[in-house]
């Protein structure tokens, strides 16, 4: 007769690093209790389990309602590196859901996360900046970051973080500065963004130009873009090999050339030729931004004179598949053909 043997191996599909999840509605309350445990391994396993569960927005809603956010906020101060990393990962996943972003605002998670902006662990910082990026996609979330007074710190960090994190910071700043660019302008954001326009990383160049679109909406932003000689760099980026960079550079010029000083700075940098070339871009936003920037330049007599031979090009764009491009082309034609 065969002898019964007990296997030395773990059962299949069992993760020894993750807490066992209770059945049904008891699952999240049990994990919340384990998050508050004095035992390090118990806290780590509970966080590993939460990382899996938080991909479901229903679980996110339940977790918030039973107080998991308060437990997670407490764990952000844990002395163990792995606990802080996994806690920020859980919060990052929660921030991908609208219910999670709203929970962040209700439970003041922004301020709790901000204390880790100088954490020694890059993974921890990357998770928290990713969470901020997701949160900023919600207008109330972007305003929450602005009202928390974090914009000067985010601008300052832009000079010191590695490139992967710089991309996240630029995404966050672009959304936040759309709501309010006052603190960024007072924190020398324009000179810092000017430096990023010269980056060898095309993703950083593109996102820096996109952030400049937001920062140059208020009058003070337009003045600073002109004063810090950013316009010649933007004109140079109109010829960049990356279409997204070109489109965002045209968008920044569109705002910067509203002022008289901006118009003549762009004309001195010979912006009309590369902008006209963008009218045939495959990206509709590149065409739209280029038309609007050229319309701004056409308000100056010198710019209008340069663009009058190209009215036919604008007329062709009246048949563009994008209604926004069609309307912009019609306005451009009226400005170019205007006579005093």
CB 138 within 8 A of CB 100: no
- Tens of pLDDT along the chain (340 residues) come to 556 666 666 555 555 555 455 434 578 889 999 999 999 999 999 999 899 999 999 999 999 999 999 999 999 999 999 999 999 999 999 999 999 999 999 999 999 999 999 999 999 999 999 999 999 999 999 999 999 999 999 999 998 899 999 999 999 999 999 999 999 999 999 999 999 999 999 999 999 999 999 999 999 999 999 999 999 999 999 999 999 999 999 999 999 999 999 999 999 999 999 999 999 999 999 999 999 999 999 999 999 999 999 999 999 999 999 999 999 999 999 999 988 7
Identify the burial level of 259 via C-beta atoms within 10 angstroms of its C-beta, where 0-12 means exposed, 13-18 middle and 19 or more buried.
middle
For 181-191, give one letter per residue: b (16+ CB within 10 A) or e: bebbbebbbbe
**Distance (Å, whole) CA 296 – CA 317:** 17
pLDDT for the residue numbered 339: 81
Could you give the 3-state DSSP secondary structure of residue 238?
A: coil
CA distances to 238, 248, 294 from 287, in Å = 12, 11, 11
Q: How many Å apart are CA 190 and CA 177, to the nearest integer?
A: 12
Q: State the Cα–Cα distance between residues 105 and 54, nearest whole angstrom.
A: 18
């Amino acid at each position: 007769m065969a002898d019964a043997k007990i296997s030395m191996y773990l059962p299949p599909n069992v993760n020894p690093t993750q807490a066992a999840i209770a059945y049904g509605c008891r699952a999240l309350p049990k994990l919340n209790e384990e998050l508050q445990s004095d035992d390090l391994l118990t806290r780590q396993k509970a966080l590993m389990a939460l990382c899996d569960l938080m991909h479901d927005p229903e679980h996110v809603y339940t977790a918030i309602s039973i107080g998991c956010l308060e437990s997670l906020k407490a764990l952000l101060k844990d002395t163990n590196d792995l606990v802080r990393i996994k806690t920020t990962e859980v919060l990052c996943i929660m921030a991908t859901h609208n219910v999670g972003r709203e929970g962040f605002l209700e439970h003041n998670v922004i301020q709790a996360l901000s204390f880790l902006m100088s954490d020694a662990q890059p993974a921890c910082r990357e998770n928290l900046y990713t969470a901020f990026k997701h949160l900023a996609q919600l207008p109330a979330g972007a305003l929450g970051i602005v009202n928390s007074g974090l914009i000067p710190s985010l601008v300052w960090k832009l000079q010191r973080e590695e490139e992967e994190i710089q991309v996240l910071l630029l995404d966050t700043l672009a959304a936040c500065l759309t709501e309010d660019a006052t603190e960024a302008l007072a924190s020398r954001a324009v000179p810092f963004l000017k430096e990023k326009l010269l980056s060898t990383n095309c993703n950083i160049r593109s996102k820096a130009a996109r952030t400049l679109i937001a920062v140059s909406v208020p009058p003070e932003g337009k003045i600073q873009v002109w004063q810090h000689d950013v316009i010649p760099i933007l004109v140079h980026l109109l010829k960049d090999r990356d279409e997204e960079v070109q489109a965002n550079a045209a968008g920044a010029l569109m705002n910067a050339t509203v002022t008289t000083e901006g118009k003549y700075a762009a004309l001195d940098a010979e912006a009309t030729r590369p902008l006209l070339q963008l009218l045939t871009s495959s990206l509709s936003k590149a065409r739209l931004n280029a038309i609007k920037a050229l319309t701004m330049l056409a308000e100056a007599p010198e710019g209008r004179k340069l663009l009058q031979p190209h009215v036919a090009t604008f007329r062709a764009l009246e048949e563009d598949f994008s209604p926004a491009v069609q309307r912009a082309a019609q306005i451009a034609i009226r400005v170019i053909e205007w006579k005093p």
